[in-house]
Amino acid sequence: MKVSKNALKILKKRYFAPGETWEQLCERVARKVAGDEPRSENRGEWEKRYKDMMLNLDFLPNSPTLRNFGRNEGCGSACFVLPLEDSRRSIFKTLSDAVDVQAYGGGTGMSFSKLRPKGDHIRSTGGIASGPLSFMEIFDFTIGDIIQQGGTRQGANMGILRVDHPDIESFLAAKALEGTLKNFNLSVGITDVFMNAVKNDEDYDLVFAGKVYKTLPASELWEKIVDGAWENGEPGIVFLDTINRNNPLQPMGEIEATNPCGEQPLLPYCSCNLGSINLSQMIQGDWVKGNAEIDREKLRQTARTAIRFLDSVISVNNYPISEIEEMTLKTRQIGLGIMGFADMCIKLHIRYGSGESINLAKEIMSDIYAVANETSVALGKEKGLAPAYEEYPLSGPKRRNSTLTTVAPTGTLSLIANCSSGCEPNFAFDYSKACLEGENLDIVPAVVGEWYLKERTKSLPEFFVTTKDVSIEEHIMVQAAFQANGVDSGVSKTINAPYDTEKSEISKAFFKAWEMGCKGITFYRDGSRAVQALTIRKKPMEAEEAEVLVRGALKHRPRATTGPSLKMKTACGKLYVDPHFDKDGVVEIFIRTVGGGCAANTKALGILLSYCLRAGVSPEKIIGSMKSIHCPACTKAISSGKDVEVNSCAAGMGKGLEVALAYGDIYREVAKRIEDADIHFNGIDASGIKELICPDCGATVHRAEGCLLCSNMECGWTRC
C-alpha cells in the first residue's frame, strides 16, 4: 500500500535511514525481528509475513521499533517505569537511568510519592527536604532540555503523585503556568478511599510515613484536581486501586506508575513493547455503498502474526540498562492494541459512541484477546514460558507473555497508517496537527476522501462524527468497553471537550470512569492552552462576511459601544476589565487596576488590545494568548491558598474578554439599537467652569490636549 504524503513527511523526518524507502524500512525491521526464529529455514517465511503486515499498513509496532531495528543499536521498546525511593542515591540513580532510557528512544514513567514532603526534617544530615517537585524540575531540565529522546525529539515523562501525599496541593498547581515541567505529563494517583471520601463529603488525611500532615475536606482537594483539568488538561487521573486489582502480575508487587501516555501500568524496571492493528484495514466489501463487513479471518491472522512479532522484539531487543533487560525478559510483557476504530465504525455505517459502537468495541477487543492468549500459550510451548510463571503464582493460563494487550494513543503511527488514532473518534475532518518540529500537518482523514471519491455529495452522513459530536458519557463508555473486554493493561483515552465545558461535567466524567472500571482518564478542553497539538482549520471568511481591512487600517469606532464591567481579584489588588461591543462584535477593551498593580501598564494594554480588536485580530486568539500568561505573584498566591481569581492581570484581561464574548449576542443587539436610534451627544461647554466632576468616579476633570480627562489615574475616564 502506498503511504500518504503526510506519512512520507513524518517518515523522512523521524524514521527513514538516509535514502531509505517505506518498503526498505519494513524489510530491515522484519529481518531484525525474524532473526529470533530458532530455525533458519523459518526466518525467511516470518520475515515476509512481518514485512507484508507492515508494508500494507495492517499492523505497525511502536515508533522505536520502526526507527531503530536493523538500523542502529537503539531500543525497540517505548514504555518504561523507573523506581524512586526516598534517598539521594536512589533519586540520582533513577535520573541517570532515565537519561539512558531517553537516549535510547524510550519514555519514562515515575511515581514521586515515596519522596518526603517539602520542609520535612532529614534525620541523617539534619537538613530540610526540598520535596518531590524540586526533583521533578531537575528531571525535567536534564531529560528534556539536555537529552533528546532517541536523538529526534525532547523526552516524554509521566510524573505521578498519590492523592494522599502532603505535597499534593503544590503538585496540582505545578503546571498552572504553561510551559512549566514541559517534558512531563502529570497524573494524580487516586485511591478508592479518596473517591469514596469525595462521594460521601468526608474529610481526608494527607499522610507520609504514617504521619498525618494535614486534614482537609476531600471535596476541596477534588475541586483542585478538576480545576487543573479544566484549566489546561492536567492533571490526568490514574486509579491506582483499579490498576492493582486487575494486575496480571499482582504477586510481583504493587504498581505505582504508568508510561507517559498512561495506557501501560508497569512495575519498576518493566517495559512494554507495543503494536497496533489497523482496524480500518480489517473491512471487506464496498463500505461507501453500505455493503461492508468485518474480515474476521484477516483480523485473527493479523493478531496471531502480531503477537509473535511483539514477542520476538523482546528477544532481539537492545536494552538501555541491565535492570530493565532482566525484568523484561522475566515478564515478557507485550501490548497488542488497535488503531482505526473510528474509521471502522464509519465503514460499517455505525455512529461512534452509539450502543452499536460500544458492542463493536467489546466484540473486536474480545476476539483479539482470545487470539492473543491462544497464540501466547502456543508460543510458551514452542519457545518457553515467561520465567515469571516459574517464580510467582501468577493467575491465568501459563504462556509466553505475562500481559498481552494495550490500547495506545498511536498518535504518529496512525498518521503513517492514515487512519484514526487508537480508540479515539476522528478529531475533525479538516484539521492541523503540530506533529513535526516547527511544522504543522494539514489532515483530511482517508475515509472522508474515499467517501467523496464515490459519493459526490456536499454533506457527510450522520455516522461521520468527530470528537465534538461525541458526548462525555459516550467517550467513557467506549473506553470502558475496551478496558473490560480484552485489555489486560490499560487504555489511552482523552476526552476532547468543547471550550465552554463546565467544571461539573469534568467531575462527573472522572467519577463515571472510576465507577466503570477504567484505569485512568484524561480530559482536555479545546483551546484551554495557548499551544495545542490539534487545531481545526478554519476556512477564510468570505468577503461579504466581514469588513476587509487593509494593512495598518483600524475599524471605525462608533459613537456608542456597550459591554459588561467585570471585577477580578489579583495578587496585587482588584482588576476591572470592560470589553465593549458595537453591532458587529467586540471593538475595544478598557482596563484598570485598583489597590495595587501598575495602572499605567494595564491602561496601555487596554489601548493596545483595543487596537488589535479594531485591526481585525480574532478575540479568541487574544484570549488564548493572554490566558497563557502567568505572573509569579499570582502563582505564589494561588499556591498558598489566597483568594486570587486569575493567574495574572493579563490572564484576567483574557478571561474578561472570554466572559463578555459568551454574552456577545446581547451586547451586539444593544449596540445595534443604540446605533439605529441615531443618538447624538451634546457638546460640553467648559468655558467659565472652574471645576468639572468625573461622571465615573467623582474626581476632578481637567483639560489636556484639547480634551477633558479625569485626574484619577485609576479611573481613566475621558470625554474624547
Q: Can you give the three-state secondary structure of 492-529, one letter per residue?
A: CCEEEECCCCCHHHHHHHHHHHHHCCCCEEEEEECCCC
> Which H/E stretch holds residue 327?
helix 322-331
- Cα–Cα distance list, 317 to 33, 287, 310, 581, 691 (Å): 9, 40, 10, 63, 86
Please give the angle made by the CA atoms of 22, 24 and 25, to the nearest 5 degrees.
65
User: Would you say residue 70 has pLDDT above 60?
Assistant: yes
Task: Evaluate whether 593 touches 561 at the Cβ level (below 8 Å).
Answer: no
Average pLDDT over residues 428-448: 82
Q: End-to-end CA distance of the chain, in Å? A: 68
pLDDT at residue 538 in the model: 52
Give which of 615, 493, 502, 565 is closest to 716, Cα–Cα.
Answer: 565
Q: Is residue 433 within 8 Å of residue 441, measured between CB atoms?
A: yes
Q: Of the residues 26, 75, 261, 272, which is catalytic?
A: 261
Q: What's the pLDDT at 458?
A: 66
Among residues 259, 278, 496, 647, the one annotated as catalytic is 259
Q: Does residue 317 surpass a pLDDT of 60?
A: yes
Burial per residue of 606-645, b for 16 or more beta-carbon CB atoms within 10 angstroms, e otherwise: beebbebbbeeeebeebbbebbbbbbebbbebbeeeeebe
Residue 619 has pLDDT above 90, yes or no: no
Reported as a single tens digit per residue, the pLDDT across 318-367 is: 999 999 999 999 999 999 999 999 999 999 999 999 999 999 999 999 99
Is the domain spanning 7-62+269-492 CATH 3.20.70.20? The answer is yes
Share of the chain above pLDDT 70, in %: 87
**Structure confidence at residue 220 (pLDDT):** 96
> Which of 195-199, 234-238, 525-529, 603-607 has the least mean pLDDT?
525-529
pLDDT computed for residue 6 by the predictor: 92
165 and 122 Cβ atoms separated by less than 8 Å = no
Cell numbers linked to 678: 441615531
Alpha-carbon span 159 to 132, nearest angstrom: 10
Phi, psi for residue 284 in degrees, rounded to 5: -125, 150
- Using CA atoms, how far apart are residues 453 and 310, in angstroms rounded to an integer? 36
pLDDT, position 441: 84
Segment 393-402 mean pLDDT: 95
The answer to whether domain 558-676 has CATH 3.90.1010 is yes
To the nearest 5 percent, what fractions of the chain are helix, strand and coil? 40, 20, 40
Sequence spans of domains, the chain? 7-62+269-492, 83-244, 558-676, 682-720
The answer to whether 248 touches 396, Cβ cutoff 8 Å, is: yes
569, with CB counted inside 10 A (0-12, 13-18, 19+), is middle
> What pLDDT, on a 0 to 100 scale, did the predictor assign at position 442?
86
Q: What is the pLDDT of residues 525-581, one digit of tens each?
A: 887 766 566 556 554 433 333 334 455 567 777 778 888 888 888 888 888 999 998
CA 424 to chain CA centroid, Å, is 13
Our separate counts of H helices and E strands in the chain read 24, 27
pTM of the complete model: 0.76
Q: Confirm if 605 and 575 have CB atoms less than 8 A apart.
A: no
Q: What is the predicted pLDDT for the residue at 96?
A: 93
Mean pLDDT on 9-38 = 95
What is the pLDDT, as a whole number, of residue 552?
59
Lookup: cell for 491? 487504555
**H or E stretch at 358:** helix 355-383
- pLDDT-based confidence at residue 633 (cuts at 50, 70, 90): confident
Task: Respond yes or no: is residue 263 known to be catalytic.
Answer: yes
pLDDT digits (tens, 9 = 90+) for 91-105: 999 999 998 888 877
- What does the mean pLDDT of the chain come to? 87
Which residues, in sequence order, are CB contacts of 473 under 8 Å at separation 6+? 509, 512
**Cell numbers at 607, concatenated:** 489601548
pLDDT tens digits along 531-541: 566 556 554 43
Residue 648: per-residue pLDDT: 86
Cα separation, 239 vs 244, in Å, equals: 9
Is 505 among the residues known to form the active site? no
Mean pLDDT value across residues 214-221: 97
For the cut 50, the answer to whether the pLDDT of residue 439 exceeds it is yes
The catalytically annotated residue of 234, 263, 588, 658 is 263
Give the range among 225-239, 377-391, 667-681 with minimum mean pLDDT. 667-681
Query: What pLDDT, in 10s, does the model give residues 270-291?
Result: 998 999 999 999 999 999 999 9
Identify the pLDDT of residue 527. 77
The span from the CA of 157 to the CA of 167, in Å, is 20
Q: What is the mean predicted confidence (pLDDT) over 681-708? A: 55
Cell of 208: 507520609
Least confident of 83-87, 132-136, 202-206, 716-720: 716-720
Alpha carbon distances (Å) from 485 to 106, 277, 303, 701? 28, 16, 16, 74
Q: How far is CA 45 from CA 35, 37, 40, 54, in A?
A: 11, 10, 10, 15
